[in-house]
A and B are shown apart, each in its own frame.
Chain A
Amino acid sequence: MTELPLIGEAAAAPSAGSPDASRLAGAKIGVITFPGTLDDRDAARAVRLAGATPVALWHADTSLGDVDAVVIPGGFSYGDYLRAGAIARFAPLMSRIIDAANSDARLPVLGICNGFQILTESHLLPGSMIKNDHLKFMCRDQVLRVENNNTHWTSDYAAGQEITVPLKNQDGQYIADEKTLDALEAEGRVVFRYVGFNPNGSRRDIAGISNAAGNVVGLMPHPEHAVEVGYGPESLDGIGGTDTDGLGFFTSVLNKIVGDAK
């Protein structure tokens, strides 16, 4: 296990003091760090702000410990060398994650950006990401439609709800063969779609997908960067009321974990 040296002290969880606070804080959500991972502290902060306890996981670990869910955060694991996510997929801990995600217990796994790329490389999710169609890195606030609110990570959203979260990547264009895309659509596994503007040429405006069981979700945009008033899309770009649109990912899984434990 590695320590994620956070800057400053941990901010208090918003639910602290409420009757459910300790029960929620008992839920442990792992955040894995590979060499080159960048948004691990941010994912841990999001977990904390949702009320759960973040657990730092190191790629070379051989055990997931007692975590109830895992976030694979964004960044450039191994510099995106070879292909985004292609090397990280072979980390010892990824084998544990693949097993746990496919087991009967259905460990909830969220892959964000590079995490999504690692999930497709791991074959937990179908398809792949290639370079943005405009060939540039793009950082913008992106409107998404929640197409499926029945996954482990989206139950706190309404079906069809539009949310705004930051998008920032160079290789974000989702591709898959037509048969796979048709199957994803038919099975309701297209979880998020870009609204208004397709920022990278993704097939069928797909921003995120899930596995059949709904416990594994991957998306290119960054919900962990829209969890705190003052630091999200509203504050930086002025899109009204969207600073915490991403928090629902983390409260959704928390409700699932706590609900299952009841």
Chain B
Amino acid sequence: MNKSFILIAAALLSAVTMGAQSFSEGFLLKDYYRISSDNPAITPDHDYISIGEFRSNVRNNVGAAAFLYPYEGRVVTALHSSVSAQKFADGLKPVNAFDGGIKYNLVSYGIARGKNFHTFELNARAVYGVSVPYDIFKFAKLGSSETPLNLEAMGLGAKMYAELVYGYSRKIGDKLSIGARGKLLAGLYGADYSFNRFDIETGVDAYTATIEGNLNLTSTSYKIHPDENGILSLTNLKSKGKLGMPSGAGLALDFGVEYTPVENLVLAASITDLGGLLWYYGNAGASSGEISFAGVKDMAITDFNENGLKKITDDLKNQALEAIKLHSVQGKTKFEMLQYQVNAGVKYSMPFYKALTVGVTGRYMYNKYTPYWDSRFGIAVNPLSWLDVTGNIGYGAYGIVWGAGASVRVLRFRINAMMQNGFGGTLPYSSIPLLANNKVLTVGLTYDL
């Protein structure tokens, strides 16, 4: 392990993102029109067009401080003898995951017609993640005393899909507004490598690894051809000349409600991304096998030299490669749920100074390994007609969190920027979080019609 390795891993950590949310900030900002993507019931009272809003969400359920420790004026790794096994274990999770997503809103067009509001949207979204089970680190730190190792949770994957959205909201009376959005989803690219089974038993008699792995890779653009033994060769890619053609299709729904029981008090709740995609993986592969290492087998005394030992390691390596080789299997379809999110909030604009709003928000984001929740208290103020600013502080799955956002109007243009982060700090000269963290960045531009 060296510095570049850590930095690459950390860069990956900071790059992976997932379904983004800025509800806590957007809900309190008066002029953030794209809040409808977080709660379809909340819409402005006039038309708008938004172009190019970018949201990125980075989530890591362990931070760099789980792997790096200050020690006598220098920084050591978790495998340094000064770091106890207990301390190392306390900093890790059963599955250590780095997940993320990017949501890029190419265009959003909102039309206000009396009590009705219509939204049309086109988004490009990506989700991806890496997961590493605790048992790998446990083995490196403690050794073979604790067996078996369960590495089934190891995996990585990435998906990219397009979203065509129609949203409708309607005011019911003076106090209630409801909304829903239907999303047609078109899968563009998808790839993941995961394990149904990955166990390693360690013992003085043998080390045995049982592997059942699956590769799912969409094939619209490229086809991986198997060799004569039916093994997928990642170097044997052939373009099909259909770049960007769908590899999957799906549907998702958002629901939201906004209620104003009394003047200045707003309650809101929503659930988004209920649905999923049916992917077609034309480049499917499976690897399975059992690797067993019982030491040398009937090695001749005369082979007990450098060449002989090299042969043993080569044999073991070949055996391992054989077990993880991806055998081509028939293309398959697979339905995959989106990562749904639930938002709720209440806000109150001060009667004595209506430019000041306080509120409480809460949310839950589903993820297999990194489910996330937080609850925040926020304030927002628009001291000037062209400036709207908010900030919040709260507590969530990874400890104390904070958020900030601003909306600046220039003529009819509104520039929005929001950020959510934790307090754990970062590695110096980088944005790599030291602790488990959920970081969201949103930047967008809207135009009032």
Same complex: no
Chain B interface (Cβ < 8 Å from any Cβ of A): none
